[in-house]
Copies of this chain bind each other. A is one copy, B any other.
């Protein structure tokens, strides 16, 4: 999708083309950066510029009070999709690029942004890739993962479907890390009958830093996509703070547990499916022959209900806020309760009693699920009286799901099923999100 007429006019006046450096003033902010080509997603009426730290910022035309050319660039960055020169006999792996820290690198000499997305440069950085697979690069969009919405999830799921239809043996998705576990969970529900592995990866440190995890993560991810016989959706990131191995963890059981460490992505109530060591050998954790056999034809079921809330309870929480969600038309609520799945249920302070508000939401047809802010362990609907008071209202206790996975699941269920079916399915395992039994080594590991 090209820029709008209005934007093209403002750019034309200053003779600004894609790749040129410009100054944009919006409100109190003055931004200087490189004009980006418009991506597939988003408002054509918004300037997209790449600022010095490598991130794209969008400024609406209406909000831009000044647009000024700073210097001419060398033309549009090579963002287009590409297939690397094919080697006979190697499997085809699609690499879907969506933005985030992994995809950008600052050239400190020119201040320009060096894109990992150019196949030749990719090979310079990770020469092992050429021996593992014929890579087909698909540039989908460039978005910081905290800005991703369900619309991008739908686009990503369809792109995976299309990549498999075009003959890919496996798929790698590169993205920002903030919403990586939300995205991995959503895609786990959206993608059915997987033809091969779908491996999501990214970087906690940008690729121009010596400590960057980008290249090893990418090499391990491509290895799994090219070779593994498990048709599963998972996250492949560093398993320790050194470069000794990456873990491939199921998309419904993984969570970002650290703001900045390279080994931030951890299984919660699960073990990784596999590790990839620094010789790029895959080591499966358990008997993996029973999970995720490759099926015929990947299908993307992309319905998603955005009006689902994830609400964390805490002491003194004002439960009348649930009414506000119901009034805003929300159709699902995942509560992040305390301990085994508690909210205040017997307090004598009536203003903090949740029961009536939950009851009202359920009467209005809202599906309500319960998870635990402990993250590890399992909620239970009846160990204590207070738990029974809540579950008796019709709240679904979401077993050992993380709150984030329960959120992703309920959004997907309500986007594709009737409320009563969604409620029924919320407590049934669909994509490995519920495990019957938790092992001791699945805590803080």
**Could you tell me which A residues sit within 8 Å of B by CB distance?**
28-29, 41-43, 46, 51, 53, 55-58, 143-151, 153, 177-179, 182-183, 241, 256-261, 264, 266, 306-312, 314-318, 320-321, 324-325, 328, 330, 336-349, 352, 372, 374-380, 383-386, 392, 403-404, 407, 411, 440, 443-445
Contacts and interface: CB of A to CB of B under 8 A. Distances in A.
Contacts of A43: 348
State the 9 A-B residue pairs at the shortest beta-carbon distance, nearest first: A259-B377, A42-B348, A146-B342, A147-B347, A178-B338, A178-B339, A444-B444, A258-B376, A324-B324
A346 B372 CA distance: 30
Contact of A312 (B310, B324, B375): B310
A369 to B, nearest CB: 14
Contacts of A343: 146
18 contacts: A58-B347, A144-B386, A146-B343, A146-B386, A147-B386, A178-B339, A183-B315, A258-B443, A259-B376, A260-B340, A264-B377, A307-B318, A309-B321, A310-B317, A312-B336, A320-B328, A321-B321, A321-B324
B342 A178 contact: yes
A416 to B, nearest CB: 16
Count this chain's copies in the assembly: 2
Find the residue from A324, A372, A407 having the highest chain B CB count within 10 A: A324
A401 to B, nearest CB: 12
A316 to B, nearest CB: 4
Find the residue from A55, A374, A392 having the highest chain B CB count within 10 A: A374
Nearest to A327: B324
A384 B148 CA distance: 16
Given A144-B384, A241-B440, A338-B178, A58 B259 contact: no
